[in-house]
Structure 1
């Protein structure tokens, strides 16, 4: 396993991180501990969760207990880490809806207000069974809350010892830049990283998000590195792949055709498609860690060799050429 420091964090994280969005569904609750321990034993020291993962209806699947009978992903992670908490850089998030009230978060605002963050951090700490969170993400931008209020709230939580660092997730390039500049102007800490969706098949962030991150010196952590299984060779085989894992749509025929070209190229080099997809991301400048969401111990074990795979420049270029650069891309 290789490790890297995120921006000014001063702590090394594994370049492969375990995502937990479907914990309690896939893997089932009784299998979470085994998967987490297997990851730690393999050298993974970075776990990513959120206060909205696991026990919401969008994750429901046939044959699995309904949302109101499932523990949250945070609870399952906390239980799995008993006795091993100090081995892990633990990240969780705030801002997605956790109720139906006007101050319960959501994409339309309120999720990054001081009152919401202060309430939710206490609940996350209890569910995780810990006295501190290593990296606390603003899960999505909040259009109703001034960025100064959010940044000052994170600063206060750091001073209280409840979080060690804060980070941002799914921010646009201008929003990330605004947050960093305002933090500098107010004499507050900068975010240690920014999390975004990115993979060979989905490269829109190359237009402004990644250039902004690199210019500001902010590390990037990546979710959906395998495009929901599209780049792992399971696009046509698995019922729940892509955004269907949380209530969205499946893959288009165009995406599946891209996956076939990608798979053929990876296999011609003697590598598994999933390993090549992760290695391509880790070859990009500024990428600190890629977040994988294994649904079983077998999927975890299958993914681990990717941490040590390095592609040469020609291979990276061939993979990049599979998808045209996004409009406005400046390199």
Structure 2
């Protein structure tokens, strides 16, 4: 396993992170524990979850709600030094109840949310506490005051963001610097071969402020995972994925042919492409089974040639570079 610093911090994280959104939803607890054991044995130390993961992400559908954290908690409770082997990351923002303050980033909700996550995770601290989305209604002074208190109390170590725009990252950091606070350590964004908008302004902002980038959905919900071959084998995609396939079929065909010519699976090529991007710290893989995790590890040993990277850019062109040069001068 290769490790790298999380942005400008001294914290080392594995280049692959284990995403656990499927835990408690399509992956039962016993299988999830096997996946966690195998991930740690393979050297993965970044374990990523969220308070809302584990089932339908809606507070009026309690079944499975928050179960991902609970499953990780029962795994940690087995002891044997598990907690000291991982960098534990979770998130706050999403609705966790029907009350008016059961969501977003008020100091009130942050305080309650972190205590609930700690209880479900059966630990005394969270290594990376990520804001799942920007809160347009709460001032940064309030958010940072709440986060600083959690750091002082030893309940969290680092703060991250997710789904932030470049200017929102800059605003957050400017406010943190006024308080002599580290601020954000990383951003978790949608980033893959088909979704490259972050190259315009998010990635330049991260580079300027010294933040790490952790892409989520490296396979774009299965679109980059050999979907046409699966359809040929009789698999029927869900409507949203089917609509994307219809729109992008020529590109998908070219992509899957390129992967076949390389002798590599489309899923491995998609994840490897991300790890070839200089801004990327680690990419999240979200296996539903132990076999899928084992397959994902192949990515770490897959080196893409310059010719292959150029071919991938031709099939899946980005926005043209960074702003404003991508559209002006």
Answering whether residue 172 of structure 2 is matched by residue 172 of structure 1, we say no
Q: What secondary structure sits across from 1:4 in the alignment? A: strand
Partner of 1:137: 130
Partner of 2:86: 88
Native 8 Å contact 1:220 1:289 kept in 2: yes
Partner of 1:74: 69
Distance 1:202 1:43, change over 3 A: same
Native 8 Å contact 2:212 2:281 kept in 1: yes
Distance 1:227 1:116, change over 3 A: same
Answering whether residue 101 of structure 2 is matched by residue 103 of structure 1, we say yes
Distance 1:21 1:145, change over 3 A: same
Count of matched residue pairs? 316
Distance 1:146 1:29, change over 3 A: same
Q: Distance in 2 between matches of 1:243 and 1:8?
A: 38
How big is the alpha-carbon RMSD for the aligned residues of Structure 1 and Structure 2? 2.2
How far off is 1:214 after superposition? 1.3
Answering whether residue 224 of structure 2 is matched by residue 231 of structure 1, we say yes
Q: Distance in 1 between matches of 2:210 and 2:167?
A: 15
Q: Distance in 2 between matches of 1:265 and 1:137?
A: 36
Distance 1:243 1:150, change over 3 A: farther
Stretch moving more, 130-139 or 23-32 = 23-32
Mapping of 1:258-273 within 5 angstroms?
258-273=251-266
Q: For residues 196-239 of structure 1, give each alpha carbon's deviation from its aligned partner in whole angstroms, at most 9, with x where no partner exists.
A: 00000111111111111112221101100111111111365455
Distance 1:250 1:93, change over 3 A: farther
Q: Distance in 1 between matches of 2:56 and 2:159?
A: 24
How far off is 1:69 after superposition? 5.7
Distance 1:70 1:192, change over 3 A: closer
Answering whether residue 323 of structure 2 is matched by residue 325 of structure 1, we say no
Q: What secondary structure sits across from 1:135 in the alignment? A: strand
Stretch moving more, 234-243 or 292-301 = 234-243
Stretch moving more, 218-227 or 261-270 = 261-270
Q: Distance in 2 between matches of 1:58 and 1:161?
A: 30
Partner of 2:12: 12
Mapping of 1:228-307 within 5 angstroms?
228-234=221-227, 237=231, 251-307=244-300
How far off is 1:260 after superposition? 2.3
Partner of 1:63: none
